Chain A
Amino acid sequence: EAQVTQNPRYLITVTGKKLTVTCSQNMNHEYMSWYRQDPGLGLRQIYYSMNVEVTDKGDVPEGYKVSRKEKRNFPLILESPSPNQTSLYFCASSRAGTSGGRQFFGPGTRLTVL
């Protein structure tokens, strides 16, 4: 089954404790992206990647890091999480050259930073 998986689905952590949210897709997609969803703000793009070792900033990259060492994986790293990073996070993937519009979204990771 074609899908985007994220782990963990729920995470409660404390300020300053480094964490990684994993994202994996099995569709051989070139394009992957991370978003955060906050009430009243919709989705905001954090980082995206056009292919292995090619990443770029989205609208709200501060406080986040990403890496793309393999085509299927695109982890999101919070080196020193803060309470304002409490949010619902989505990973998405798509084929390149489709304007990225036909993105497949993961189920989301709900992160709480105390």
Chain B
Amino acid sequence: GEDVEQSLFLSVREGDSSVINCTYTDSSSTYLYWYKQEPGAGLQLLTYIFSNMDMKQDQRLTVLLNKKDKHLSLRIADTQTGDSAIYFCAETRGNFNKFYFGSGTKLNVKP
């Protein structure tokens, strides 16, 4: 995880948009992922993007990839209290089977 960095906390109000950011250092990254972890549970894949894409949208989720700056972001539109969780970005590099995770961003959604 030391090569994949995220801020630790984010607090937003219900109904606002949330933007969670991630930076990575390996330019050979192939796939980049966003996972969600709810309290006491394992990780759940939210979405992923291939490194030759700039953007991917899936309902309330928008992923932006800036490969030049090695910056990945996840935007959650109309954030709900049920979105409160820890969000991890992750990458696979040349070997699709090895994963590298960030330290996670804890999203707190206030009613």
Shortest beta-carbon distance, B35 to chain A, in Å?
8
Q: A40-B103, A42-B104 are in contact. Are A101 and B98 (CB under 8 A)?
A: no
Distance of A45 Cα from B4 Cα, bound (Å)? 14
B9 at the interface (CB under 8 A from A): no
Check B1 against A105 for contact (C-beta < 8 Å). Answer: no
Q: Chain B: interface residue count, which band?
A: 20 to 34
Min Cβ gap B30→A in Å is 7
Q: Give the size range of A's interface with the partner.
A: 20 to 34
Q: Is the CB of B101 within 8 A of A105?
A: no
CA distance A107 to B45 in the complex (A): 14
Residues in chain A near residue B101, CB distance under 8 A: 35, 42-44
B104: chain A residues within 8 A (beta carbon): 42
List residues of A (30-62) whose CB comes within 8 Å of B's CBs: 31, 33, 35, 40-45, 48, 50, 56, 58-59
Q: Assess whether A101 is in contact with B103, with CB atoms less than 8 Å apart.
A: no
Cα separation A35 to B30 with both chains bound (whole Å): 20
- Cross-chain contact of B88 among A43, A102, A106 (Cβ < 8 A): A43
A28 to B100 CA separation, bound complex (whole angstroms) = 25
**Cα A1 to Cα B45 with chains together (Å):** 18
- Chain A residues contacting B45 (CB-CB under 8 Å) are 101-103
Alpha-carbon gap, A99 to B33, bound state (A) = 11
Binding site for A on B (CB under 8 A): 1-2, 4, 8, 30-31, 33, 40-45, 48, 88, 90, 92, 96-104
The residues of A with any CB-CB pair to B shorter than 8 Å are 4, 31, 33, 35, 40-45, 48, 50, 56, 58-59, 90, 92, 99-103, 105-108
